[in-house]
Amino acid sequence: MITTRPFGTTADGTSVTCFRLENAAGAWVEVLDYGCILRAVAVPDRAGALRDVCLGFDTVAEYQENHQGYLGAMVGRCANRIRDARFTLDGREYVLAANERPNHLHGGDRGFDQYVWDHSIEGDTVVFSRTSPDGEEGYPGTLKVRVSYTLTEDNALRLVLEGESDADTVVNLTSHAYWNLNGHGAGGVGSHTLSIDAIALTELGADNCPNGTIASVVGTPFDLRTACPLEAGWDADHPQIRQGGGYDHNWVLRGSGLHRAAVLAAPESGITLSLSTTQPGLQVYTGNFLPETAGKGGARYAPRCGVAMEAQGFPNAMNLPGFPSVVLRAGERYHQEIIFAFGHN
Ligand code: BGC
């Protein structure tokens, strides 16, 4: 069942709508047409009580003021960093907004997270769409994108990300939801355990962009093939951990097609989150630089009070030919899926 309610307006006066998706079991999700933001996900803990496990805000103004945290947002055209905010495609160099100098991050000064999208409701699915004009933030091609959210009866949230462009361009969309499986206001996520189906990660250079090296995780704090508490690794004495200020890295996923990439679990609540995706990479960001802010219902957010698991193409792929391509050719279809499946133990 999907219901809607007004969610205020943006600073320039555009109305924002909140969509509530609820299943027969009583689990529910809220998404906004502003930035396709996932603002709440309420799922049962092991005692059967619903907990909202997704960080978010109560007003559009707070999303706008805190946009650099990308809470719950759909990031695009290209998630993550592009070194020196430039790339070459079909022999031509494109210069992008350098919103994290000298790099481009999460789509630029005004990425997809900062627009009110068009919407439609198709059965149990909310569909958001927008047309990103040729040249937006420096990217070539008029790109039509569509993002849909469906809550299934077994407490899985399915995101389908689609796009089509009239010229060769770059597309790499992901959801930037932060999770705290004890409840969004429950404090640090250090005791959460995480497993990732990967034996390698893309090594970061001094500029926080992958330098092209695919490094083995074996014998490092990045080996999460067996679930480990986040706090066991995020302050480890390892040069890559120091570079990221904790976990802020892209793992090279082993599976192909729609595959299970990671499982996050909170021992206290018993809630588990299993992430499946068609994407080749998983950026895990343990909120190392989340500012001290007031979140929904006056909850206190601070560094490391949520973890983002961003299924995506590899960061800086446009400048590293050995990485899987994030180019979308004119007339071809972009199609990716991310499934956040909730359970408890
Ligand atoms: C990046 C972080 C960045 C954060 C917020 C994450 O996806 O990996 O480095 O600080 O987004 O902008």
Q: How far, in Å, from the CA of 285 to the mean position of ligand 1?
A: 7
Residues 101, 107, 110, 112, Cα dihedral to 10°: -160
Q: In which residue are the tokens 């998630």 written? A: 79
pLDDT digits (tens, 9 = 90+) for 24-38: 999 999 999 999 999
310 is known as an active-site residue: yes
Residue 132 · residue 293 · CB < 8 Å: no
Q: Which ligand 1 atom is the nearest neighbour of the CA of 289?
A: 10
Give, using CA atoms, the residue closest to atom 10 of ligand 1. 289
pLDDT at 103: 98
- Please give the backbone phi and psi of residue 198, each rounded to the nearest 5 degrees, phi first: -155, 145
Q: Which residues line ligand 1 (CB under 6 A)?
A: 68-70, 248, 283, 285, 289, 308, 310
Q: If you measure from the C-alpha of residue 24 to the centroid of ligand 1, how many angstroms do you get, rounded to a whole number?
A: 35
Number of domains in the chain: 1
Q: What is the CA(25)–ligand 1 centre distance, in A?
A: 34
Q: How far is the CA of 52 from the centre of ligand 1 (A)?
A: 22
Mutate to test the pocket of ligand 1, among 285, 307, 310, 314 (most ligand atoms within 8 A of CB): 285
Give me the tens of pLDDT residue by residue for the chain, a chain 345 residues long.
999 999 999 999 999 999 999 999 999 999 999 999 999 999 999 999 999 999 999 999 999 999 999 999 999 999 999 999 999 999 999 999 999 999 999 999 999 999 999 999 999 999 999 999 999 999 999 999 999 999 999 999 999 999 999 999 999 999 999 999 999 999 999 999 999 999 999 999 999 999 999 999 999 999 999 999 999 999 999 999 999 999 999 999 998 999 999 999 999 999 999 999 999 999 999 999 999 999 999 999 999 999 999 999 999 999 999 999 999 999 999 999 999 999 999
- How remote is the CA of residue 251 from the centroid of ligand 1, in Å? 15
Answer whether 147's CB lies under 8 Å from 127's CB.
yes
> What's the CA dihedral at 192, 193, 196, 197 to 10 degrees?
-150
CA distance 202 to 90: 25
Q: Report which ligand 1 atom has the smallest distance to the Cα of 310.
A: 7
What backbone phi and psi angles, to 5 degrees, belong to 244?
Answer: -90, -5
Q: How far is the CA of 210 from the centre of ligand 1 (A)?
A: 14
Ligand 1 atom with the shortest distance to the CA of 79: 7
On whether the CB atoms of residues 263 and 194 are closer than 8 A, the answer is yes
From the alpha carbon of 288, which atom of ligand 1 is closest?
Answer: 10
Q: Residue 113 belongs to what domain range?
A: 2-344
Q: State the Cα–Cα distance between residues 67 and 342, nearest whole angstrom.
A: 27
CA atoms within a 13 Å half-sphere pointing along the CA-CB vector of 337:
15
* Active-site hit among 176, 192, 249, 344: 176
What's the confidence (pLDDT) of residue 14?
98
Atom of ligand 1 nearest to the CA of 285: 8
Substitution candidate for ligand 1 out of 63, 70, 105, 113 with most atoms within 8 A of CB: 105
132-186 pLDDT, tens digit per residue, is: 999 999 999 999 999 999 999 999 999 999 999 999 999 999 999 999 999 999 9
- Give residue 89's pLDDT: 98
Region for 144 from its dihedrals, namely left if φ exceeds 0, alpha if ψ lies in -120 to 50, beta otherwise: beta
Nearest CA to ligand 1 atom 9: 248
Residue 150 has what pLDDT? 98
Measure 237 CA to ligand 1 centroid, in angstroms.
Answer: 21
> Which residues are CB-neighbours of 106 under 8 A, at least 6 positions away?
70, 75, 78, 79, 80, 99, 113, 176
Q: What is the pLDDT of residue 239?
A: 97
Domain harbouring 207, CATH code: 2.70.98.10
Q: Which of 136, 137, 164, 310 is catalytic?
A: 310
**What pTM was computed for the model?**
0.98
